[in-house]
């Protein structure tokens, strides 16, 4: 568990919000080392200078050993130390016991106190549970399973298996997502990153803010030589009432135009992230791009039958032009097109759905129409939808946790949770 103490741990934004520091003594210059040579398997690490990598290795080794502090061969400036700790915290997703609490040095220092979410004696048992849970995901893969379908399986397993929860410890870790079925954004992101690492697929957990300016984490993954955004958190929205079978792919293999400056903003304070310019998103790869309103009805019919036969109930299509998108909404929701789709399902499938009751979601920016069908057998029917639902995900902020430094001679009186 995280070590408790007296002073309050302040919550600050990770982006653009650093602690004020007094003038620091001279430290090693970390700008004169070898230039950045990208290693996509360790993207953040490869962006560091040689000296910074040395500090990174020291922090990572100390955290793996569950040591109380990391000790450096020379004094490190406060800003460099903060940058390196952030790099370790986000890149080493398998060190799930390392907490995001960070002492704010006032001066250059040779030591950094480390905080942990879980006791050292529990780590091996927890890791075995993680291995068991992730092995079940990989057991479904055959020798011919390509990287796209592995990434899709990782995304869907997390979206269907985990629930966003305001939890201080478990939900921020891969253990929470895989073994407790709870996660917050950094827990979803690190878990997706962990599965990619296990599969040998280049991926990184990135940091930034959501459309409300609140701290947020998601992934950038490499597929077929191109980088894409993946946000399992935002594909698993908080719905009322809760819907454990809800599954969507708005933010699976998204490009920069889909999300940056719209719903997501990358934090560029310390790191430069890969550009995601390829347009081979989920809807393109699954053949779910519509060019006309007429195409939409036929595409939804075939997709709905396939989904219901598989025990699923969510269908979605994306349009490549706004005129067709607008016309399809009229055709489906104003002139009976959606009822035609659902009647087709009942004529084709053993399991039945309500032909006049469904839930619809509209993503205006990406021009996506998403339908949640309602099975007629499991329980009371939902109300017939009369208005389009345009979703905005809610990110609930965790409560502030109390704590302090044991040795505050070279540090502020507070530690900071970097996730807030």
Residue for token digits 């998204």? 254
Residue 88 within any structural domain of the chain = yes
Give the model's confidence band at 417: pLDDT under 50 very low, under 70 low, under 90 confident, else very high.
low
HSE toward the beta carbon, residue 165, CA cutoff 13 A:
16
Residues 49 and 66 in one domain: yes
**pLDDT-wise least confident of 23-37, 163-177, 392-406:** 392-406
CB within 8 Å of 103: residues ≥ 6 apart: 112, 113, 405, 411, 412, 415
Token reading at 368? 């996506």
Residue 300 within any structural domain of the chain = yes
Q: In what order do the strands lie in the sheet with 252-254?
A: 252-254, 226-230, 215-223, 203-210, 264-266
Ranges of beta strands (E only) in 176-273 are 182-183, 203-210, 215-223, 226-230, 252-254, 264-266
What does the pLDDT look like over 363-382, one tens digit per residue?
Answer: 999 999 999 999 998 644 44
Residues 368 and 405 in one domain: no
Q: How far apart are CA 94 and CA 85, in angstroms?
A: 15
Alpha-carbon dihedral angle through residues 195, 182, 7, 59, given to the nearest 10 degrees: -10
Give the model's confidence band at 385: pLDDT under 50 very low, under 70 low, under 90 confident, else very high.
very low
CB within 8 Å of 11: residues ≥ 6 apart: 397, 400, 416, 417, 420
**Closest C-alpha among 253, 187, 258, 220 to residue 40:** 220
Residues 324 and 411 in one domain: no
What does the pLDDT look like over 284-318, one tens digit per residue?
Answer: 999 999 999 999 999 999 999 999 999 999 999 99
Give the model's confidence band at 103: pLDDT under 50 very low, under 70 low, under 90 confident, else very high.
confident
CA distances 303 to 316, 330, 340, 341, 354, Å, are 8, 20, 14, 10, 16
pLDDT of residue 40: 63
CA distances 132 to 139, 152, 175, Å, are 10, 20, 11
Number of domains in the chain: 2
Residue 404 within any structural domain of the chain = yes
Residues 368 and 410 in one domain: no
Do residues 178 and 191 touch, judged by C-beta distance below 8 A? yes
**pLDDT-wise least confident of 106-120, 134-148, 232-246, 275-289:** 232-246
Q: How far apart are CA 312 and CA 247, in angstroms?
A: 9
Paired with 266 in beta bridges are 208
Give the model's confidence band at 248: pLDDT under 50 very low, under 70 low, under 90 confident, else very high.
very high
Element (DSSP H or E) covering residue 243: none
Do residues 62 and 37 touch, judged by C-beta distance below 8 A? no
Residue 104 within any structural domain of the chain = yes
pLDDT of residue 66: 98
Residues 62 and 78 in one domain: yes
Residues 303 and 388 in one domain: yes
Residues 342 and 360 in one domain: yes
The residue segments making up the domain with residue 351 are: 287-392
Residues 338 and 364 in one domain: yes
Residues 88 and 53 in one domain: yes
HSE toward the beta carbon, residue 281, CA cutoff 13 A:
26
pLDDT of residue 17: 29
Mean pLDDT, rounded, for 142-159:
97
Residue 385 within any structural domain of the chain = yes
Give the model's confidence band at 16: pLDDT under 50 very low, under 70 low, under 90 confident, else very high.
very low
Q: What is the CA radius of gyration of the chain?
A: 24
Q: How many C-beta atoms lie closer than 10 Å to residue 396's C-beta?
A: 11
Do residues 32 and 20 touch, judged by C-beta distance below 8 A? no
Residues 115 and 30 in one domain: yes
Residues 22 and 59 in one domain: yes
CA 245, 397, 402, 20 torsion-angle sign: positive
Who wins on pLDDT, 13 or 344?
344
What does the pLDDT look like over 50-89, one tens digit per residue?
Answer: 999 999 999 999 999 999 999 999 999 999 999 999 999 9
Residue 134 within any structural domain of the chain = no
Residues 403 and 386 in one domain: no
pLDDT of residue 416: 63
Which of 11-20, 24-33, 68-77, 386-395 has maximum average pLDDT? 68-77
Mean pLDDT, rounded, for 328-347:
96
**Closest C-alpha among 405, 410, 314, 325 to residue 358:** 314
pLDDT of residue 240: 82
């Amino acid at each position: 568990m995280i070590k408790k103490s007296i002073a309050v741990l302040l919550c600050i934004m990770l982006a653009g919000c650093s602690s004020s520091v007094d003038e620091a003594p001279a430290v090693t210059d970390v700008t004169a080392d070898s230039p950045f040579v990208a290693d996509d398997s360790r993207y953040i690490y490869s962006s560091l200078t040689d000296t910074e990598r040395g500090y990174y290795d020291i922090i990572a080794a100390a955290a793996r050993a569950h040591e109380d502090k990391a000790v450096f061969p020379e004094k490190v400036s406060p800003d460099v130390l903060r940058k390196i700790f952030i790099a370790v915290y986000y890149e080493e997703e398998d060190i799930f016991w390392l907490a995001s609490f960070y002492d704010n040095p006032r001066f250059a220092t040779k030591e950094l106190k480390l905080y942990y979410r879980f006791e050292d004696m529990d780590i091996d048992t927890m890791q075995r549970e993680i291995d068991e849970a992730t092995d079940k995901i990989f057991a479904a893969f055959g020798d011919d399973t390509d990287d796209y379908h592995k990434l899709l399986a990782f995304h869907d397993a997390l979206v269907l298996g985990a629930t966003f929860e305001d939890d201080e410890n478990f939900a921020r870790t891969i253990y929470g997502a895989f073994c407790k079925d709870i996660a917050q954004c950094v827990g979803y992101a690190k878990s997706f990153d962990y599965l990619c690492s296990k599969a040998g697929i280049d991926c990184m957990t990135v940091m930034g803010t959501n459309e409300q300016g609140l701290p947020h984490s998601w992934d950038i993954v490499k597929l077929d030589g191109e980088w894409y955004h993946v946000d399992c958190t935002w594909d698993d929205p908080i719905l009322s009432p809760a819907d454990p079978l809800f599954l969507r792919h708005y933010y699976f293999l998204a490009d920069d135009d889909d999300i940056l400056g719209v719903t997501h903003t990358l934090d560029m304070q310390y790191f430069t992230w890969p550009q995601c310019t390829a347009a081979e998103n989920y809807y393109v790869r699954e053949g779910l791009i519509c060019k006309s309103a007429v195409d939409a009805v036929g595409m939804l019919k075939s997709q709905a039958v396939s989904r219901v036969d598989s025990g699923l109930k969510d269908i979605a299509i994306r349009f490549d032009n706004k005129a067709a998108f607008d016309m399809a909404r009229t055709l489906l929701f104003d002139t009976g097109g959606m009822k035609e789709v659902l009647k087709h399902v009942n004529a084709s499938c053993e399991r039945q759905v309500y032909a006049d009751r469904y839930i619809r979601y509209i993503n205006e920016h990406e021009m996506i129409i998403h339908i949640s069908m309602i099975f007629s057998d499991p329980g009371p029917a939902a109300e017939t939808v009369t208005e389009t639902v345009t979703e905005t995900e809610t990110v609930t902020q965790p409560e502030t946790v109390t704590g302090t430094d044991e040795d505050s001679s070279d540090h502020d009186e507070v530690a900071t949770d970097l996730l807030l």
